[in-house]
Amino acid sequence: MAFNPFENAANTFRTQANRAVGDLRNQAQASVQNFVGDALNTGIGFVDNAVDNVVNDTIGGFFDSFGFNKSSRSRNLPTATTGRVQQRTTAQWSASAADSDWRVKLSVPPQFNGSSLLSPLSATGGLVFPYTPTIVIGHSANYNQLQPVHTNYPFQIYESSQTDDLAIIGEFTVENEEEGRYWVAAVHYLRSVTKMFYGDGDNSGSPPPLVKLNGYGDFVFNNVPCVVTNFTVDLPNNVDYIAVPLEVSDQAGQSGTTWTPTQSTISVSVKPTYSRKTVSSFNLNEFVNGKFLTNGSGFI
């Protein structure tokens, strides 16, 4: 395991903090013994709980704010066979402990499966937002207004309905090389799905590939076919950057180091896109009853 001065410093600080907390508990117990008398056990229990709360809220919060308690997050990436590992109470790389994985993710197109640079995304089944992102959903029903002469109220003539672009805004943190490689893969993935198959190579002349959006279970986003229309990544000037060595195995001699921000925000705009054949099978009555939300057609 590589030497990590931050974790060593954190361990030293934790040891000193625990020693100080032990001294505080002993002093508190002595004070309780002097003042509580017959209720000694109850008093000591009360103080123990209070001290534990201080430890958890203050010292634990300190470590959480710097990410030391989250160091195992990237090591618990779900495997390709099981698809999930133990769930923590906070948003993270690992999958849900429930039967279904409700994390927000964008699938990797089959045409990109051979890319070693995108291989970190394969372990999570696509580009997964490690923290619960903000998603803006919009639906529109378009009407044309017809107002005859000498009338008070116009008539609304229905034209069409549409699902507006979805805006996904998520925070990414990088605390080690493994998470750094995931960040690089995420950015390279978004660069790739916004480009057409141009020039030499397979599928030349084809538009950017379709991706599937999933998240929040069967009745929110269930294999929604989308095209990525826009994405932004901020590179803040007020955060640290971590050096991440990279080697592309399928390209001889392609290796180097990338500096990734410890905290950044990635915003993605996707447009739900359905084929004419899929749209022709739509049935509003069955949609209202939930059928078209769970049959894999991806209607929302």
Kindly report, residue by residue over 101-134, the tens digit of the pLDDT: 889 999 999 988 878 889 999 889 999 999 999 9
* Contact criterion met (CB below 8 Å) for 206 and 197: yes
Q: Which residue has the higher pLDDT, 195 or 69?
A: 195
Q: What is the distance between the alpha carbons of residues 226 and 206, in angstroms, rounded to a whole number?
A: 16
> Which H helix or E strand runs over 268?
strand 263-272
Cα end-to-end span (Å), the chain = 46
With 60 as the cut, is the pLDDT of residue 283 above it?
Answer: yes
Q: What is the distance between the alpha carbons of residues 165 and 269, in angstroms, rounded to a whole number?
A: 6
Lookup: tokens for 149? 């002469």
Nearest 5°: phi and psi at 212? -110, 130
With 80 as the cut, is the pLDDT of residue 84 above it?
Answer: no
Q: What is the distance between the alpha carbons of residues 249 and 34, in angstroms, rounded to a whole number?
A: 70
List pLDDT tens digits, range 205-220.
Answer: 788 999 999 999 888 8
Contacts 24+ apart (CB under 8 A), 273-276: 273/210, 273/225, 273/226, 273/227, 274/225, 274/298, 274/299
Lookup: tokens for 231? 């994405």
Nearest 5°: phi and psi at 215? 165, 145
Q: Is 145 left (phi over 0), alpha (psi -120 to 50) or beta?
A: beta
With 90 as the cut, is the pLDDT of residue 14 above it?
Answer: no
What is the average per-residue pLDDT within 260-268?
Answer: 96
Query: Cβ neighbours of residue 258 under 8 Å, at least 6 residues apart?
Result: 180, 184, 243, 244, 246
Nearest 5°: phi and psi at 143? -130, 145
Q: Cβ atoms within 10 A of the Cβ of 2, count?
A: 5
Residue 127's beta-bridge partner residues? 106
* Contact criterion met (CB below 8 Å) for 211 and 228: yes
Q: What is the distance between the alpha carbons of residues 208 and 251, in angstroms, rounded to a whole number?
A: 23
Name the band, by pLDDT with cuts 50, 70 and 90, for residue 19. Answer: confident
* Contact criterion met (CB below 8 Å) for 272 and 138: no
List pLDDT tens digits, range 193-250.
Answer: 999 888 777 777 788 999 999 999 888 899 999 999 999 999 999 999 999 998 776 5
